[in-house]
Amino acid sequence: MSADAGYTYRPRAGYAVSEANSRGRRSAEASAVARGEFQRDRDRIVHSTAFRRLEYKTQVFVNHEGDLFRTRLTHSIEVAQMTRGLARELGLNEDLAEAIALAHDLGHTPFGHAGQEALNACMKDYGGFEHNLQSLRTVDLLEEHYAAFDGLNLMFETREGILKHCARTNAVHLGELGQRFLDGTQPSIEAQLANLADEIAYNNHDVDDGLRSGLITLEQLEAVPIFADNRREVEARWPGLGGRRLIHETIRRMIHLMVIDLLGQTRANIAAAGVETLADVHAAPRLAAYSDALLPRLQVLKRFLHENLYRHYQVLRMTNKARRIVTELFAAFMDDPRLLPPQYQAKAREDKPRVIADYIAGMTDRYAIREHRRLFAVGEIH
């Protein structure tokens, strides 16, 4: 940015991303005024249509099932808060870390992973569907805000962080952005931290939502050492504490434990690899990581959630409905694209399956349910 704008963000670590070592934007723009370029990215993400829609997209529970369960929006805010704190402690670019975290779920379908699996199955003969690639497609192409370019025209490092995973078959089509998946190099530490903060947030908050819903119990969680040990610490300090306070105090200790472990191990990895510059980060093995002591405990927690929450019969009933909604919507639009809204009909003439996938992926849970009802329920004519 210009020297007279009065603002320059200066990360403390030499291996942090900065405006000086950034690869910049795809379309050239005048420098931002009174804010840095990565702060500008964060602001564009927060003001995007896709970000607002996250309020009505859920993780495990479908949106209409209750007001207290986490949505993709609240989850993204929690991940951003955590990622920014981690970046600050390590002397990294806080604005970049926050921007990546806020954008990481923009491409998620309605109905969480069930919706993604259904849409991927629908798209199996047309290049497949993957929410990381859809998040990138959203910020690069689908958002329509600016006269000069499609998408949000984010900085390279923000886009790099959004694309957490990518198959080699897709990476070859992404140019410079996909190169690291072909040559085995790493993204920025800011991006690495956002990925693990996402994991910390959803593991802990799925425990919270699972307990709140009654689908899992405190008694069941006694089989999960990282939860049971922290619960006992809480009970020892506050005998007789129960209800939501007991759960919250336990979960906040779990989050603290994971964050402190991640910071310590990442610092150790940076030192052991002799990392001093951003180029060193790209060439090094993955630097952001948990310790060998914590990893097995986290694996037990993940297995518990998979077996007792994600595979709970009530969750499976809803995810089965969600798959059917997505599958039937896709089939209806493929059979007759005139059923699409006008702006999608025009685009569908060039690539019908991908445009239909864009439309469905952009739906909220409740909009997908309403759209399915409009197309298939007798008596629904609007």
Question: Which domains does the chain carry?
Answer: 3-376 (1.10.3210.10)
- The three-class DSSP label of residue 100 is helix
Whether the per-residue pLDDT at 8 is higher than 60: the answer is: no
- Of 112, 102, 130, 106, nearest to 70 by C-alpha is 112
Return the pLDDT at 58. 81
> What's the mean pLDDT in 136-150?
96
- Of 308, 363, 375, nearest to 112 by C-alpha is 363
Choose between 361 and 315: higher pLDDT. Answer: 361
pLDDT tens digits for 208-238? 999 998 999 999 999 999 999 999 999 999 9
**Residue 314 Cα distances to 154, 194, 207, 214, 302, angstroms:** 40, 31, 16, 11, 19
> What's the mean pLDDT in 98-126?
95
pLDDT tens digits for 177-220? 999 999 999 999 999 999 999 999 999 999 999 999 899 999 99
d(CA 139, CA 136) in angstroms, rounded, equals: 5
Whether the per-residue pLDDT at 349 is higher than 50: the answer is: yes
Whether the per-residue pLDDT at 2 is higher than 60: the answer is: no
Question: What does pTM read for this prediction?
Answer: 0.92
Lowest mean pLDDT among 50-59, 147-156, 257-266, 294-303: 50-59
Q: pLDDT-derived band of residue 4, with 50, 70 and 90 as boundaries?
A: very low
- The average confidence (pLDDT) of the chain is 92
Return the pLDDT at 5. 46
pLDDT tens digits for 330-342? 999 999 999 999 9
d(CA 134, CA 361) in angstroms, rounded, equals: 8
Return the pLDDT at 378. 72
Whether the per-residue pLDDT at 30 is higher than 90: the answer is: yes
Q: Can you tell me which residue has the tokens 């569907």?
A: 129
